[in-house]
Structure 1
Amino acid sequence: MTGRRRVAYGSAPAQAARIARILRHRIQQKKIRPGTEIPAHAVRNEFATTEYVALLAITVLARESLVTAPRRGHAARVEGDGTKRAPRLQHEKLASQLQARIEAGEYQPGDWIPGTATLAREFSASEGTVQLALKLLRDTGALDTVPGRGSYVAGATPRGPRKPTPKRATPELTERVQRHLEDESAPGTLIPLREIAASLDVPEDAVRAAVRELMERGTVDCILGAGFHATSGNET
C-alpha cells in the first residue's frame, strides 16, 4: 500500500467505490502483484476511513474476481492476472445481486436482509442457494447474523425487528411513479424516493417497490453507491 490519502467523504458505499476504483487501477497496472495480500486495516489506514468501508471496497474487488474474498482472520489476495471473472455459480450471482443492493444504498448498515424463504421466492432460487449466498456475504464481511433473527448489513447495530420485505407495487402506482419521473426527473438525475412518496402521498417503501419495477423495464438504473437514477429513455 502507498502513502496515506483521504477519501472519507460521502456515504460508505460511495467511499468504498472510490477506494475500489483506485485499488482496481493499481491491480490492473501491476502495481499490486498477484498473490499480494490486501488487509482491510491497511486499506483503512491508507485511505483514512473505517474498517467497514475498507471491507466493502475489498468486497467490490472480490465480486469482480480481482481479489479473493476476505474472510475473518484471512486477508484478501490479488488473483491471477488481475482480470475480471463473472460469477459462475447461482449463489455467487445471487450474492452479487444482494451486494449491489447494499452498494446502491437500498440496504443500509444495520438494515435486516429479507429472510431465506422470501429471497428464495423473489429470486426463484432454492433456499439452499440463498443460504450459500448469505454465507458468502457473511464471509466477506458484508453481512452479520443474529441467531434466530436473521442477517443484517454489517457496519452498524441492527435496527429494531426485521423489516418486512416490500411487496411488488400495484400497476397503478408504478404508472403514477413513471409519470412523475417523466415530468419531474431529468435523465441521469438521482430519484428522490422520499420526495416522490410525499408528492404522491404513499409510503416510501411502496415508491421503492415501484421504482424497482421500473428498473426491470429499463426506465430506471441503479448506479453503484448512488441509488436509483432515471435513464435517458422511458422504455416500457
Structure 2
Amino acid sequence: MTLLTTQNAKTIKGEKFGFATGILYMAPYTIAGKFNMCPMAEKAQCHKACLYTAGRGKFNNVQQGRIRKALYFQNDYEGFMNELASDINRFVNRARKENVIPLIRLNGTSDVLFERKGFTLNEKIAKRIKKTAGYYENMMSLFPDVQFYDYTKIAGRFDKQLPSNYDLTFSYSGVETYKKQVEHALKHNARIAVVFRNEKDIPAEFLGKKVIGGDDTDIRHIEPQNTIVALIAKGDGKKDTSGFVVGELA
C-alpha cells in the first residue's frame, strides 16, 4: 500500500515555487472506527464540513483507501510507520533528483499528534532507506533535513516545543464549544487558517490579525506566524452552517 499522495490540486500549485508535497490522507474522525483521528472534531464541528469530501475525496474508492490507511495505522502502528518512512524516503529522493524541495504533510485529513508518535525503525526498512535502525521520537527526527507541516485543531500542541522541522498552522472554527481552543492559539500568536465561504467574505483583518491569502498554495511554513490564512470552503463545507465556515450561506 502506498501511503503518500503526491497529486493534489492545491499542493501541485506549490511546484511553481520549487516545492513538491507528499501528503498522508487517512479517514478522519471516527469514520474508520476504534480511534478518533480528530480529537477536536466535535467541539469544532468540523467533521461535517471536512475536506474529506473535497476533490477526489468525494469518490468512494478514494474514501475506502483512506479508511484502509487509518485502520492500518490503528491496528499495526509499527508496520505503518515503517512503511511510511519508506514512502517518505522514496518521495524525498525523487523530489531532490528533480531539483525541487520536498515537503511532507502527515495530517491531510486527520489530526494525529505525530510529534509524539515514537516508533522503532526495523532493520529491513533501515537498510532500504540507508538509516540507522532503532527507536525514533517521531518521523521528523528520522528525516531532520526534511520540512514537515500540518494543520491542527488541537491548540495544546503549541504548548510544547515542536521539532524544528515541523510547522503547525492552527485551524479556526467559530463554534462556541471551540472558543477556548481559539483563545489558546491566539495567546501563542499562532498562524491561524480560517475557512471562508466565498472570496467576498474575506476581510482585511480577522480576530485582530492581518489576513493573507492561502488558497494559491499549501506552502504554509514560509508564511509569518500571528497572521490569518484565508481559505475558501470546498466540498460539503460550502453548505456548512455550524460556524466552522465563516460567511453567510447564499
> Does TM, scored on the shorter chain, surpass 0.5?
no
Bigger radius of gyration among the two: 1
Say which structure is richer in helix: 1
Say which structure is richer in strand: 2
What TM-score do you get using the length of structure 1 for normalisation?
A: 0.31
